[in-house]
């Protein structure tokens, strides 16, 4: 008989952070940089732990160049060739410590990963990304990659529950990507009915990961700087953004003009658009699990980054966290029925 979990699981929109007493005088005092040492690779990281998603629109070399100036991170998408990687490494060696090479679980993916990593030894991060991180095959793949690259820091996912976070960490992953279905162009929840509200997923998975000295990325579901702050407040070590970074100069794809306004295409990596582009079509046995949208062109990503970082600094001052590190300890979420006064919205 099916079981119903009676606790309501929460999304970002269901909560707000409660303000708390603070000794901070100004937002400018807040430190957003974090340092981590990873459980399995033994490597350490320092930076502002926000990651551009490994989508072919957002996880571009251009994005990596813009974000690394702010010490943000980019999971570079898996569709660049080894030569493109070499060019990037030669022209932007300073960015290499803030990027990951992405890979799926196929045999050709593994070869591609090996070629990129052996061509550019300064790369230290691997992002192993599959739609469903619950398969035994994926666990085995994580073990294989760990055995082949013992000193590289491995991000792996996606999953949404504590027991699978633990399994992947024990199989050699350092940072677990958490999120199934929350993304702005993801239709997994619609097509499959499977998913987990992102705030609850992050709270539960962070707890599981931290118990093993592992780390997590909250991947998907952030639609505004406040959501990024809530993800950190919920315990995410890193927050990965797709939709919020889409539509910028640094994104892949052409800028299109429509009724005098500029747009850029943005789509899920399991959408028809992406599957046609990279695999020649949607395989017979699959449904597309992503959508394609035209997002208004937003100019340089630098402005968006400043807006996000300014928002999180303000969050930290409201809850009395002098450092991003303290944010989750200072977080009490209250449950709400609306985020914003709709008086002047259309």
**Binding site members:** 26-27, 78, 129-131, 180-181, 183, 186, 189, 219-221, 242-243, 268-270, 285-290, 314-317
Q: Kindly identify the residues of this chain, within the stretch 8-67, that bind other proteins according to CB under 8 A.
A: 10, 12, 15-25, 27-28
d(CA 227, CA 16): 9
Q: Residue 142: helix, strand or coil by DSSP?
A: helix
Nearest CA-CA partner of 251 in 52, 50, 58, 51: 58
Known binding positions for GMP: 219-221, 242-243, 268-270, 286-290
What's the CA dihedral at 205, 314, 335, 193 to 10 degrees? -50
The CB-of-193 to other proteins minimum distance in angstroms stands at 25
Using the minimum distance from each CB to other proteins, give the nearer residue, 128 or 229. 229
For residues 104-118, one letter each, b for 16 or more C-beta atoms within 10 angstroms of the residue's C-beta and e for the rest, the string is bbeeebbebbeebbe
188 has catalytic annotation: yes
Using the minimum distance from each CB to other proteins, give the nearer residue, 9 or 191. 9
Using the minimum distance from each CB to other proteins, give the nearer residue, 110 or 333. 333
Give yes or no for residue 248 binding other proteins (CB under 8 A).
no
The CB-of-18 to other proteins minimum distance in angstroms stands at 7
**What is the per-residue binding string for other proteins in 196-235, x denoting contact by CB under 8 A?**
-------x--xx----------------xxxxxxx--xxx
The CB-of-31 to other proteins minimum distance in angstroms stands at 11
Cβ atoms within 10 A of the Cβ of 74, count? 29
Structure tokens at 20: 């708390």
**What is the per-residue binding string for other proteins in 267-306, x denoting contact by CB under 8 A?**
---------------------------------------x
Strand partners, 240: 51, 219
CB 317 within 8 A of CB 30: yes
Give yes or no for residue 326 binding other proteins (CB under 8 A).
no
Catalytic residue among 57, 60, 105, 188: 188
CB 253 within 8 A of CB 267: no
Nearest CA-CA partner of 267 in 276, 257, 280: 276
Q: Which of 3, 151, 258, 335 binds other proteins (CB under 8 A)?
A: 335
Using the minimum distance from each CB to other proteins, give the nearer residue, 127 or 316. 316
Using the minimum distance from each CB to other proteins, give the nearer residue, 15 or 53. 15
d(CA 167, CA 211): 13
Total interface residues for other proteins by CB under 8 A: 58
CB 82 within 8 A of CB 89: no
Whole-number CA gyration radius for the chain: 19
d(CA 97, CA 108): 25
CB 261 within 8 A of CB 296: yes
Give yes or no for residue 314 binding other proteins (CB under 8 A).
yes
Give the length of the chain: 346
Give yes or no for residue 328 binding other proteins (CB under 8 A).
yes
The CB-of-166 to other proteins minimum distance in angstroms stands at 16
Strand partners, 178: 159, 218
The CB-of-308 to other proteins minimum distance in angstroms stands at 7
Using the minimum distance from each CB to other proteins, give the nearer residue, 89 or 201. 201
Residue ranges binding other proteins (CB under 8 A): 10, 12, 15-25, 27-28, 203, 206-207, 224-230, 233-235, 306-315, 317-320, 328-329, 331-344
Active-site residues: which are they? 186, 188
């Amino acid at each position: 008989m099916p079981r119903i979990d009676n606790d309501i699981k929460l999304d970002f929109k269901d909560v707000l952070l409660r303000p708390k007493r603070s000794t901070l005088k100004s937002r400018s005092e807040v430190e957003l940089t974090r340092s981590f040492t990873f459980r399995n690779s033994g490597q350490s990281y320092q930076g502002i732990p926000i990651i551009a998603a490994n989508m072919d629109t957002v996880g571009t070399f251009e994005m990596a160049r813009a974000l690394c100036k702010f010490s943000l991170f980019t999971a570079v998408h898996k569709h660049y060739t080894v030569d493109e990687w070499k060019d990037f490494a030669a022209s932007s060696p300073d960015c290499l410590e803030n990027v990951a090479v992405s890979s799926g679980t196929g045999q050709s993916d593994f070869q591609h990963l090996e070629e990129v990593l052996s061509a550019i030894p300064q790369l230290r991060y691997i992002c192993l990304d599959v739609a469903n991180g619950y398969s035994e095959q994926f666990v085995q793949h994580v073990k294989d990659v760990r055995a082949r690259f013992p000193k590289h820091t491995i991000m792996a996912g996606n999953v949404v529950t504590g027991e699978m976070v633990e399994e992947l960490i024990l199989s050699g992953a350092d940072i677990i990507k958490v999120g199934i279905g929350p993304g702005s162009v993801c239709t997994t929840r619609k097509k499959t009915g499977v998913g987990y509200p992102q705030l609850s997923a992050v709270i539960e998975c962070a707890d599981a990961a931290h118990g093993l000295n592992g780390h997590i990325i909250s991947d998907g579901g952030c639609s505004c700087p406040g959501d990024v702050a809530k993800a950190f407040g919920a315990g995410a070590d890193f927050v990965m953004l797709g939709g919020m970074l889409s539509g910028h100069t640094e994104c892949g794809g052409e800028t299109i003009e429509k009724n005098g306004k500029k747009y850029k295409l943005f789509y899920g990596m399991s959408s028809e658009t992406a599957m046609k582009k990279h695999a020649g079509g949607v395989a017979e046995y699959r449904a597309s699990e992503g959508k394609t949208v035209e997002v208004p062109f937003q100019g340089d990503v630098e402005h968006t980054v400043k807006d996000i970082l300014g928002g999180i600094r303000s969050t930290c001052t409201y809850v009395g966290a002098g450092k991003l590190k303290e944010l989750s300890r200072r977080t009490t979420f209250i449950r709400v029925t609306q985020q914003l006064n709709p008086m002047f919205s259309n």
